[in-house]
Amino acid sequence: MARRKTKNFKIPFKIIGIFLFFISIILISAAVLKAFFYHYPYFNISRIVIKGAEEDKYAGFKAHFTSRLMGKNIFSQKLSLIKRQIEEELGDVECRAIQRRLPGELILFLSDRSAIAQLKLGRFYPIDASAMIMDNPSDLAKPFLPVILGLEGAIEGPKKGKLCSVLELKKALSLIERKNSAPNLGDYLITRVSLAKNKTSSFFIIQRDILFPPPRKGIIQRDGVSYPAEKGFIKKYPAEDVSKKMYPQKEVEVKFDLDRPGDVINVLALLLDKRKGLSAMPSGGQALENVEYIDLNDPDSPAVLETKKKSSFPSL
């Protein structure tokens, strides 16, 4: 049989030439437009607006930041870099977004950060829920903020404005955040969170004194919590002394599963509510009385170890 001849499909050079011509026109137009937007003085930054936070509070920062950007082209500025610079300089502010408004206005959407814990890395670094270091470190622990221990060496170059991307830290912050948002745990404070590699992690809680009894000598009270006082001022203590001096009440250790912070807090709230009911005390009663520690390594099978009560029988 005779073979059929296959025709080779060929694109005419004329069509290729037209296609390349239009592509070159598009590229040249894009380059001209870019040059126009990037170099025309009409698009130079002339104003910066702050939204979402009190503008008067950041008037000094705004004036300083505006002087740095004034007259620069609005399209030549990398918004991600500006966002990082703002958060590093202010520390206690989150830059949620930056918007360009033509011809020359930048709108900064800011929100105030609040520290929910302090990270122990040789010194104490206040940190917010997103794991951002908010301020310069202190040599002494601050009251009210839980101290997170066990991450020494895991975070390099800690400084104000640094975002700490450590999984264990984020889980610990999630635990603290969930506890703070639990309405039935408002009578309790987390004092420390101790993270251990290949071991059981623990956090320590104390009970607020909501009845506000008269403070002992050398003790002052604030927000229902007793603190040691020295000449009328709250005194700060190193981490090893937090439980002994800053919080006069006995801490209770809670062993927990770091991978299930939500379940841990929910079960803890149920346990303490149950103990409060059994003690027949008003809200804020002795739910932690005689408790040695609470084991929530498996939130599905919680356990409470109580201290042995001393015998009331006289010795022979």
Each residue's pLDDT tens digit, 270-313: 999 888 776 555 444 578 888 888 999 999 999 888 876 554 44
The reply to whether 105 and 131 lie within a common domain is no
Would you say residue 24 lies in a domain?
A: no
Give me the CATH number covering residue 51.
3.10.20
State the pLDDT at residue 228.
Answer: 46
**Continuous segment of H or E residues that includes residue 62:** helix 59-69
Same domain, 126 and 271: yes
Q: Quick count: other Cβ atoms within 10 Å of Cβ 220?
A: 16
Whether residues 283 and 160 share a domain: the answer is yes
Q: Would 14 be classed as within a structural domain?
A: no
- Tokens encoding 97: 């977004």
pLDDT at res. 6: 58
Stretch 43-69: mean pLDDT: 87
- Find the range with the poorest average confidence among 8-12, 172-176, 304-308: 8-12
Contact call for residues 209 and 226 (beta carbons, < 8 A): yes
User: Are 293 and 192 found together in one domain?
Assistant: yes
What is the total count of domains within the chain? 2
The residue that leads in pLDDT, 218 or 198, is 198
37, part of any domain: no
* Residue that finishes a domain, picked among 112, 142, 172: 112
Say how many residues make up the chain. Answer: 316
pLDDT tens-digit readout, 76-91: 899 999 998 888 888 7
Higher-confidence position of 65 and 233: 65
pLDDT at 282: 47
Let me know if residue 94 belongs to a domain: yes
Q: Are 219 and 235 in contact (CB under 8 A)?
A: no
Model pTM? 0.66
Q: Between residues 137 and 214, which one has the greater pLDDT?
A: 137
Query: Does residue 247 carry a pLDDT above 60?
Result: no
Residues 46-58 as b or e (16 or more Cβ within 10 Å = b):
eebebebbeeeeb
Confidence of residue 2 (pLDDT cuts 50, 70, 90): low
Structural domain contains residue 129 = yes
**What is residue 89's predicted lDDT score, i.e. its pLDDT?**
84
- If asked whether residues 166 and 229 sit together in one domain, one would say yes
Contact at 8 Å (CB) between 189 and 143?
A: no
Residues 226 and 95 in one domain: no
pLDDT higher than 70, residue 314: no
Among 57, 90, 112, the domain-final residue is: 112
Same domain flag for 172 and 253: yes
Q: Are residues 291 and 160 in the same domain?
A: yes
Between 163 and 13, name the one with better pLDDT.
163
Best CA proximity match to 78, nearest among 107, 98, 58: 98
- Are 229 and 96 found together in one domain? no
Same domain, 103 and 157: no
Q: Residue 82: which domain range?
A: 42-112
- Confidence at residue 11, expressed as pLDDT on a 0 to 100 scale: 63
Percentage above 70 pLDDT, the chain? 78
32 lies in a domain?
no
* Statement to judge: residues 92 and 127 lie in one domain: no
Q: Among 106-110, 212-216, 284-288, where is mean pLDDT lowest? A: 212-216
Asked which of 11-20, 28-37, 288-297 is least confident by mean pLDDT, the reply is 11-20
Instruction: Walk across the sheet containing 219-222 and list its strands.
Output: 219-222, 225-230, 233-234
Is the domain of 178 the same as that of 144? yes
Report residue 62 CA to chain centroid gap. Answer: 25
Q: What is the pLDDT of residue 4?
A: 59
Query: Pick from 84, 112, 140: which residue ends a domain?
Result: 112
Mean pLDDT, range 123-149, rounded to an integer: 90
Question: Does the residue 212 lie in any domain?
Answer: yes
Q: Let me know if residue 315 belongs to a domain.
A: no
Assess whether pLDDT exceeds 50 at residue 150: yes
Question: Chain-wide mean pLDDT for the chain?
Answer: 80
